[in-house]
Structure 1
């Protein structure tokens, strides 16, 4: 199974997701850390990603040619200019076009509010993602 985790800046959320996947899912999982910058990528690799891919061109190329089971990232990765302008339109477009499950974490600091998520903690959201991966993707 291949899982991509995308994040920007220091990849705090990406690191947390990768660590939880490594802890909670016992099967052999291949994790790709997609970082918009070298700090984000290296932090995700340190957290347990098998490989890291950095930058707009490399991320778009990966999204265009890779067959993965799912991609996980904050809501800013599907917003042009998201995550303090680190997410260009090309990345959002390639993510949308990927033929896989997309787990989008609804952080409120991107000025996008999803009703029903107000009282959810990141920990709860990541738990739901882990449960769904186990139920949906692991055979």
Structure 2
């Protein structure tokens, strides 16, 4: 099973996700691969340090990773071109959106994207809830 975590900026959200998914490893299938894709090298390095099995940076790795991912996890902005301060390209957004993977998107109300009906939770709480949602599939 392949879990792809996508993040940009400094990679804080992605690193928290990788760390928490790694801690929940015992509750995941034994063949789980945790793959980190950063929109920049700082985000990639943070996620790799937090426990990702593999990592890559940039547009093409997003395209390749989304092809066969079982789960894609990251901020809501990975579905919107030019989000994350312009780090998400239109091609990346289409790759994420058209992937057959289950998508677990964290509602970060920034970059003019506001999710109505969702409270403004801390990053820690959002990542905890994302990992719990992931585990609910097993």
Global fold match (TM > 0.5):
yes
2:2 alignment partner in structure 1: 2
Residues 73, 105 of structure 2: 8 Å contact kept? yes
How far is 1:112 from its partner? 1.4
Mean CA deviation greater in 39-48 or 125-134: 125-134
* Aligned twin of 1:110: 111
Which ranges of structure 1 fall in alignment gaps of 5 or more residues? none
Q: Which of the residues 52, 57, 60 maps onto 1:54?
A: 57
Superposed CA deviations along residues 113-132 of structure 1, whole A, max 9, x for unmatched, are 11222243333322222222
How many positions carry a matched residue from both structures? 135
TM-aligned CA distance change 1:119 to 1:88, over 3 Å: closer
2:98 matched residue in structure 1:
97
1:38 aligns with 2:41: yes
Mean Cα deviation higher: 24-33 or 84-93: 24-33
Shift of 1:100: 1.1
* Aligned alpha-carbon RMSD (Å): 1.5
TM-score (norm 2): 0.89
Does the CA-based 8 Å contact 2:4-2:65 persist in structure 1? Answer: no
Q: Which has the higher mean CA deviation after the structures are superposed, 20-29 or 6-15? A: 20-29
State the Cα distance separating 1:59 from its structure 2 match.
1.8
Question: What SS class does the counterpart of residue 81 from structure 2 fall into?
Answer: coil
Q: Deviations over 1:68-103 (max 9, x none)?
A: 220001111111100000000000000011101101
Give the equivalent residue in structure 1 for 2:75: 74
Q: 1:109 deviation in Å? A: 1.5
8 Å Cα contact 1:25-1:134 kept in structure 2: no
Aligned to 2:84: 83
